[in-house]
Amino acid sequence: MTTTTTTLVVGATGNTGKHVVLQLLQQEQNVRAIVRSKERLLNSLEDIVPDASSNLHIISRLDVTEASVLDLSDDELKKATKDCDAVVSCLGHNMTFKGLFAPPRKLVTDATKRLCQAIESNNSVSGKKTKFILMGSDGVANPS
């Protein structure tokens, strides 16, 4: 018997996030994603698996919110994390001068804090235990 889970992925258009999203969808899991561009997410999935974005078996389990995660209100973050079995943060900065030193300087720190607060708020009401997974590629330099 297979159990279906719901996972929220932030940073889903990045080099790590797109693979996380696709693997979850290929395992028939429900995925929510907060991205600045839905089109970019779908294109990044296409880069890995051609026709992924037109495969209804995969895409029907993908729920996308177009927004910058730090621009969402606390209530919107609570809604995004509600009933999730896990939240995976693949947020990071581009490895360029602008990516490292331009705003938002504390993207990962601030997003992690706010997502954990939303999870804790939901869990205190539902009693559910949502996992928070923080992925990073700080030690990876030019993997391709």
pLDDT tens-digit series, residues 66-87: 999 999 999 999 999 999 999 9
Q: Global pTM?
A: 0.88
How far, CA to CA in Å, does 27 sit from each of 6, 23, 61, 144? 11, 6, 11, 26
Structure tokens at 82: 């509600």
How far, CA to CA in Å, does 115 sit from each of 58, 102, 121? 26, 22, 10
Backbone angle region of 11, left / alpha / beta, with phi > 0 → left and psi within -120 to 50 → alpha: left
Q: Which residues pair with 133 in a beta bridge?
A: 88
Q: Is residue 53 predicted with pLDDT exceeding 90?
A: no
**pLDDT reported for residue 79:** 97
pLDDT band at 58 (very low <50, low <70, confident <90, very high): confident
Q: Which helix (H) or strand (E) holds 86?
A: strand 86-89
